[in-house]
C-alpha cells in the first residue's frame, strides 16, 4: 500500500481527498493508498440512525455527516488518523474492519502494550477503555474512511458526545493509560504497518 503522509489536514480537505482517491482507485489509476493525517477538532456523524442523538453539545466545533458506518465520533490533535483507500476482492467489510483493529493492536504491541478487541463494541481497547476507533464506507468494492488511534489528544472533545453510543469516560488514549509515546512516533508505526498490507 502506498501512503500519503498529509500532516495536519482540515477534515473537509481530507474528506475531499479521500473521494478523489476512491475514484482513482475504482478507475485503476492508483494502487491501494492510505491517507494518514491529524485533524483540527471536528465531530463526524456516521450512518447509524441515532448518531445525531449522541451528539450532545458540539459547541463551536464543526460537524460533518459522512458516509461511513457507525455513530458520532471526535477527531482532533493528538490522534493518528488513517484512511485506507483499498480495493477489497472479495468484498468483506467485516474482515477489513478487523484488519484495521489488528493494525492498531499491532502498533500497541510494538510499544509494549497489550490492546484488545471487544466483541460487543468495534475498536481497540486498553485497560477496559477505548483508545482506537474504526468506521468505513465502500463504493464499488473500494473502501474509505478508516481508523483513529488516540495517542495523546485532549479527551475533553469526547465529553460533548456519547461516542459510538458509549459513555465518554470509556474513551481514553495511550498517554492517559500511561504509555510513554509521542504522536509522530506512533504515526510512523502506523505507516509502517500500512505499507506492509
Catalytic residue positions, numbered: 164
The answer to whether 139 and 150 have CB atoms below 8 angstroms apart is no
Burial class (CB in 10 A: 0-12, 13-18, 19+), 30: middle
The answer to whether 166 and 121 have CB atoms below 8 angstroms apart is yes
Give the separation between CA 73 and CA 164, rounded to whole angstroms. 7
- The dihedral formed by the CA atoms of 17, 77, 134 and 127, expressed in degrees to the nearest 10: 170
Give the separation between CA 86 and CA 72, rounded to whole angstroms. 23
- The two beta strands, 116-118 and 42-45, are unpaired
Element at 75 (helix H, strand E): strand 72-75
Amino acid at each position: 500500500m502506498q501512503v500519503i503522509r498529509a500532516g495536519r489536514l482540515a477534515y473537509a480537505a481530507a474528506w475531499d481527498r479521500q473521494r478523489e482517491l476512491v475514484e482513482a482507485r475504482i478507475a485503476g489509476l492508483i494502487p491501494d493508498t492510505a491517507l494518514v493525517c491529524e485533524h483540527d477538532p471536528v465531530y463526524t456523524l456516521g450512518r447509524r440512525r441515532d448518531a445525531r442523538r449522541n451528539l450532545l453539545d458540539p459547541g463551536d466545533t464543526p460537524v460533518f455527516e459522512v458516509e461511513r458506518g457507525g455513530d458520532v465520533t471526535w477527531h482532533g490533535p493528538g490522534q493518528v488518523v488513517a484512511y485506507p483507500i483499498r480495493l477489497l476482492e472479495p468484498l468483506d467489510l467485516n474482515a477489513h474492519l478487523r484488519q484495521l483493529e489488528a493494525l492498531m493492536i499491532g502498533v500497541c504491541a510494538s510499544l509494549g502494550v497489550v490492546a484488545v478487541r471487544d466483541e460487543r463494541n468495534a475498536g481497540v481497547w486498553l485497560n477496559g477503555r477505548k483508545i482506537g476507533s474504526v468506521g468505513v464506507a465502500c463504493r464499488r468494492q473500494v473502501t474509505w474512511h478508516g481508523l483513529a488511534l488516540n495517542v495523546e489528544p485532549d479527551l475533553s472533545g469526547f465529553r460533548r458526545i456519547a461516542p459510538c453510543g458509549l459513555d465518554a469516560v470509556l474513551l481514553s488514549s495511550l498517554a492517559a493509560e500511561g504509555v510513554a509515546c509521542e504522536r509522530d512516533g506512533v504515526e510512523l508505526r502506523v505507516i509502517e504497518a500500512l505499507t506492509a498490507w
